[in-house]
Structure 1
């Protein structure tokens, strides 16, 4: 059961971590406190406490740590760089939106012990199979409940533990299983016996029912039984079904005897159904599968708003960590708000607010380092420029010297282009989006007049203007919105190639006068107005030009608008506050979870053509319209996490399936709720939808804890593109509010898509 314990033997770093180390926890230049850190014997938990606070201590799981950064790689550690050398400093980066932990060891050797030890533990976890992960998860619960640390639990202790694990069950049944698991006949379970007990407890009647329906003898699935199941239920390709059946037995069947018989046991069948191959998301579409040679404007692009902010837009901290997190999530368009700073160095923060400030050059360095770690495809740097000409020149200098060849400084062939290059052609390039003096043609032909090089609006968005547009009328705001035009430096202008920011007049004006490389930005309310007035025109505009839509200035809490209605118009750059969890970011994560998570998703064919009209309000008017029926039987859920901290409470779960797409497709339906069972609730409830524009639809599965007296509590969710769904019996592996895995929580469903006549 202790899967990771073998890691300790012979590893000096882990041995040292188990003994423990006193290190400084750093929160700011002035907040530096000593804490005693040590790795627990389970090799899964880090325990730490202050020497002064007596018994008070905290813990975190190694599985919560995503990465370890060495040296001064955070603003906090940079701020104390003069006090502590980099070889004693490191940062633990947590998954989701949890703040990082900055630490300083007493020596470089102690720092290396923790850096190497943590990396080894993270690597071990990543290499664990699902079965080992489950054993580890059960073991974690056992240790949590084993209050006296004697490695044994009697039946009463086990009952308390089951409650903690979200299990409300028949006491007689639980006791019978307890006695069967107590192989040593001591009246208590040791850790391995508890794993056996848990596995008996979690036998899947729902899966057994499916297994027996297709099994010839009720004991196993022969090769032909499995082929029939894959063909009839899973709708796998008939031509490869025989080969696939053999591969599944080879890969997932734990019994050598069954393998020899070319058969699959119930255990192998369950392991297959729980695996990525058996999940709701078609594995092929999780890889890079789309044509990446289309013009840039033919793709939806994962995009962030106010990327430097970690919290709200009035007082929250600014940090380069915002850029690192967004880029590591596959974001391909980040935003930077630049203002004049002291000592001639431009700064980044949310203007006219109390958000903290960071240096522009640090943002550019971070971009250079992290831009292409997750995806090779181009990154757009959307710049809000409020700087003087002098500091604009400094910005241009930093962009050129820090980014070097990564910064796109000219068209790819140095000729005047007639359309966008593709993501494939722009691999490894950073494109600056901002104001530009004259056109691309002028700068390429060298015809620009020196006198003309320092005029025009510098900033694309203006916070005051956008608030004014959202109906908050105020003379002072309007006065600030109409401030005099600033000057633009030629050096910064020259860094803008394919993304020249321009003011939008009308779709007709753009059709007649705009160049393909001119991009307009709209607040969400302006975009909605255009969608209502001329949806089909909006789609056509986006078939030839880039558009960016960003949240209203009234969203001071960094909340988000629903991106789906903007994707319905073909808008490529739908900028969201990545730091804010919720439905909107679930949809963004869902859309961009396909195509290798590269941050680019090809728009449907009917949204890319200039000779066709698609109106999202009337999807049935397009060529090739074929509505689909989508039927979901929600069968069961497994090991849902507790949402209420009271030990006595157990979840009353229900499942909601939401369809997000064109207005005609927007729908949601729910199962009934199950009393007191977050452990293995069973529904067998069927939900039905009609999908009119399947290429644009996203499906979101949500589990909530029913509460008749107050708002339902969120338990977990999973969102994916409708076009990526695998049919048949599938597991949906649930994610937390932050989008991180909550293994082993899952839903078991049956899905069927059919054409409507």
Structure 2
């Protein structure tokens, strides 16, 4: 990848959530005098000792579980350097997405007047395209860079090329990916490999494919993208938009998609028994799945135990906003395609889920084994204070009033807490020394988010992954990059059935 483009992508879209999993050893850490004193006199320890303790520790990864027992970190329209309808595409975007943890990437390939006849772009928009061959080479290099023990990388292929052009596609993919490309190998041999999703069309006696509703209103969400800057990309000749007959997938291309036959299903798909062909992957829009909730929640979870399911955003998300990711994880969907250039609430949760993971995370027990966890949880957080909080615009090197807001995202009911407001020092230091406590049913998909005053700094983690005891929590800017802000807090998490037992005694 071009070094200048790499630097631009890293500057715009890098995230540093792993700093709470693997605390940086070479980074100086400034703490306020009040917090330094608190650590030494009250905790009887040192800044250096606390500095090395992770705030978040993901579980050990069990690679013996079926693929359908996992969530997969996924990128939507991976080739785009900016927003959906304008801007440019680049092969370098794939290197960046893979290095950032995505283990499912998307390729939209179209015919073009370029020498190879194939271009990757966002069709029917003003997006400038990039070479399909360069994209395949970038993916191959990106998977190699992750090492031979990396968990499998899924590729969602949107093919708008006719059967003749597909022969060229197959040749390019085989040359670029070689033995990494899964072609009828055993599922146990997937590490370091690439699984290609190739669209599958059911026999004609099936109902017609559900069409995405284009009459929806324009996306009302107002969360902004990380940057309005359009990174310089690669120009290719315009896409040759021609009519590609639906269902025309060549035998050669279909063979490459043996382990992920991507099916945009017909009405009633949830009640169909999908035995033949094998390895069906349901590829469906967020709107279509939402229409099944809440009436068919149990059926969606059960279906997800047998077949992989990929959710793609509705077409009206022109601002590159993201779906409510927890809503889809909670219904058992494995692959929720995210616009990784937008660090909104859902992307913060996505980064928190996959930080320190191999890009695949085991689903909750209730989705894998259908056993309900009846434990109660008591979460207590003692918040001492923050050092070097980033100031609001116009308050650089000036005191400002700051508070800490906590959100618990829970399957039954979200909860919110807010500290008192304190005036900071010129360095952005504030002391609250308050305790929050929540009690709730255990939920493996419960997430905690701590936000400093008016979206100035954020920390997000899955509750089950938070380490107990005193921690120096690294806070991040709202674009996911590390800030100098550090929160001193003590976490206590009690999971037990004591509450139930006590009730039974009376």
Residue 81 of structure 2 contacts residue 89 of structure 2 at CA under 8 Å; is this kept in 1?
A: yes
Question: For the residues of structure 2 that align with 1:467 and 1:310, how far apart are their CA atoms?
Answer: 26
Compared with structure 1, are the counterparts of its residues 578 and 273 closer, same or farther at alpha carbon in structure 2 (3 Å cutoff)? same
Pair 1:534 & 2:308 matched:
no
Which residue number corresponds to residue 280 of structure 1? Answer: 55
Q: Which whole-Å deviations, capped at 9, do the CAs of 1:53-81 have from their partners, x for residues lacking one?
A: xxxxxxxxxxxxxxxxxxxx33xxxxxxx
Q: Which whole-Å deviations, capped at 9, do the CAs of 1:149-197 have from their partners, x for residues lacking one?
A: xxxxxxxxxxxxxxxxxxxxxxxxxxxxxxxxxxxxxxxxxxxxxxxxx
Which residue number corresponds to residue 347 of structure 1? Answer: 119
Which residue number corresponds to residue 358 of structure 2? Answer: 598
Question: For the residues of structure 2 that align with 1:565 and 1:200, how far apart are their CA atoms?
Answer: 39
Q: Which whole-Å deviations, capped at 9, do the CAs of 1:116-150 have from their partners, x for residues lacking one?
A: xxxxxxxxxx99845x624xxx8xxxxxxxxxxxx
Compared with structure 1, are the counterparts of its residues 648 and 724 closer, same or farther at alpha carbon in structure 2 (3 Å cutoff)? closer
Structure 1, unaligned stretches of length 5 or more? 1-72, 75-88, 101-125, 139-198, 212-220, 222-265, 413-420, 439-451, 473-479, 613-621, 705-711
CA positional deviation for 1:205: 3.2
Residue 411 of structure 1 contacts residue 497 of structure 1 at CA under 8 Å; is this kept in 2?
A: no
Which residue number corresponds to residue 496 of structure 1? Answer: 257
Which residue number corresponds to residue 77 of structure 2? Answer: 306
Which residue number corresponds to residue 408 of structure 1? Answer: 182
CA positional deviation for 1:720: 1.5
Which residue number corresponds to residue 510 of structure 1? Answer: 272
Length-normalised TM-score, structure 2: 0.83
CA positional deviation for 1:649: 3.8
CA positional deviation for 1:516: 5.4
Match of 2:461 among 717, 720, 727: 720
CA positional deviation for 1:373: 2.4
Question: For the residues of structure 1 that align with 2:70 and 2:447, how far apart are their CA atoms?
Answer: 16
CA positional deviation for 1:527: 1.6
Residue 550 of structure 1 contacts residue 574 of structure 1 at CA under 8 Å; is this kept in 2?
A: yes
Residue 467 of structure 1 contacts residue 554 of structure 1 at CA under 8 Å; is this kept in 2?
A: no
Which residue number corresponds to residue 39 of structure 2? Answer: 207
Length-normalised TM-score, structure 1: 0.57
Which residue number corresponds to residue 554 of structure 1? Answer: 316
Compared with structure 1, are the counterparts of its residues 204 and 133 closer, same or farther at alpha carbon in structure 2 (3 Å cutoff)? closer
Compared with structure 1, are the counterparts of its residues 535 and 334 closer, same or farther at alpha carbon in structure 2 (3 Å cutoff)? same
Q: Name whichever of 506-515 and 583-592 sits farther off.
A: 506-515
CA positional deviation for 1:646: 4.7
Larger Rg: 1
- Residue aligned with 2:475, SS: strand
Question: For the residues of structure 2 that align with 1:374 and 1:751, how far apart are their CA atoms?
Answer: 33
- Residue aligned with 2:196, SS: strand
Match of 2:142 among 358, 370, 377: 370
Compared with structure 1, are the counterparts of its residues 97 and 387 closer, same or farther at alpha carbon in structure 2 (3 Å cutoff)? farther
Pair 1:543 & 2:305 matched:
yes
Structure richer in helix, relative to its length: 1
Question: For the residues of structure 1 that align with 2:317 and 2:4, how far apart are their CA atoms?
Answer: 35
Match of 1:270 among 42, 47, 62: 47
Compared with structure 1, are the counterparts of its residues 384 and 95 closer, same or farther at alpha carbon in structure 2 (3 Å cutoff)? closer
Compared with structure 1, are the counterparts of its residues 585 and 623 closer, same or farther at alpha carbon in structure 2 (3 Å cutoff)? closer
Compared with structure 1, are the counterparts of its residues 661 and 545 closer, same or farther at alpha carbon in structure 2 (3 Å cutoff)? farther
CA positional deviation for 1:600: 0.6
Compared with structure 1, are the counterparts of its residues 517 and 469 closer, same or farther at alpha carbon in structure 2 (3 Å cutoff)? farther
Q: Which whole-Å deviations, capped at 9, do the CAs of 1:174-233 have from their partners, x for residues lacking one?
A: xxxxxxxxxxxxxxxxxxxxxxxxx8956623324423xxxxxxxxx6xxxxxxxxxxxx
Residue 264 of structure 2 contacts residue 284 of structure 2 at CA under 8 Å; is this kept in 1?
A: no
CA positional deviation for 1:410: 1.6
Question: For the residues of structure 2 that align with 1:483 and 1:94, how far apart are their CA atoms?
Answer: 36
Pair 1:671 & 2:419 matched:
yes
CA positional deviation for 1:321: 2.4
CA positional deviation for 1:526: 1.6
- Residue aligned with 1:492, SS: helix
Question: For the residues of structure 2 that align with 1:373 and 1:541, how far apart are their CA atoms?
Answer: 34
Which residue number corresponds to residue 388 of structure 1? Answer: 162
- Residue aligned with 2:93, SS: helix
Question: For the residues of structure 2 that align with 1:752 and 1:95, how far apart are their CA atoms?
Answer: 38
- Residue aligned with 1:362, SS: helix
Compared with structure 1, are the counterparts of its residues 751 and 525 closer, same or farther at alpha carbon in structure 2 (3 Å cutoff)? same
Compared with structure 1, are the counterparts of its residues 522 and 691 closer, same or farther at alpha carbon in structure 2 (3 Å cutoff)? farther
Compared with structure 1, are the counterparts of its residues 753 and 580 closer, same or farther at alpha carbon in structure 2 (3 Å cutoff)? same
- Residue aligned with 1:739, SS: coil
CA positional deviation for 1:332: 0.4
Residue 318 of structure 1 contacts residue 357 of structure 1 at CA under 8 Å; is this kept in 2?
A: yes
Residue 55 of structure 2 contacts residue 467 of structure 2 at CA under 8 Å; is this kept in 1?
A: yes
Match of 2:87 among 316, 321, 342: 316
Which residue number corresponds to residue 696 of structure 1? Answer: 445
Question: For the residues of structure 2 that align with 1:553 and 1:367, how far apart are their CA atoms?
Answer: 25
Question: For the residues of structure 2 that align with 1:405 and 1:456, how far apart are their CA atoms?
Answer: 37
- For residues 171-250 of structure 1, the aligned pairs below 5 Å read 201=33, 204-211=36-43
Please give the root-mean-square deviation of Cα atoms over the aligned residues, in Å: 3.1
- For residues 417-566 of structure 1, the aligned pairs below 5 Å read 421=187, 425-436=189-200, 465-468=211-214, 470=216, 485-504=246-265, 505-506=267-268, 508-511=270-273, 513=275, 517-566=279-328
CA positional deviation for 1:91: 6.2
Which residue number corresponds to residue 129 of structure 2? Answer: 357
Compared with structure 1, are the counterparts of its residues 497 and 382 closer, same or farther at alpha carbon in structure 2 (3 Å cutoff)? same
CA positional deviation for 1:333: 0.3
CA positional deviation for 1:97: 4.7
Which residue number corresponds to residue 752 of structure 1? Answer: 492
Question: For the residues of structure 2 that align with 1:383 and 1:471, how far apart are their CA atoms?
Answer: 28
Whose RCO is larger (CA < 8 A, sep 6+)? 2
Q: Which whole-Å deviations, capped at 9, do the CAs of 1:615-651 have from their partners, x for residues lacking one?
A: xxxxxxx534112121212211111122324546434
Question: For the residues of structure 1 that align with 2:161 and 2:90, how far apart are their CA atoms?
Answer: 20
Q: Which whole-Å deviations, capped at 9, do the CAs of 1:360-384 have from their partners, x for residues lacking one?
A: 1110000000024236111111011
Q: Which whole-Å deviations, capped at 9, do the CAs of 1:382-420 have from their partners, x for residues lacking one?
A: 0111112222111111011111111112232xxxxxxxx
Match of 2:381 among 610, 619, 632: 632
CA positional deviation for 1:668: 2.2
Residue 335 of structure 1 contacts residue 381 of structure 1 at CA under 8 Å; is this kept in 2?
A: yes
- Residue aligned with 1:303, SS: coil
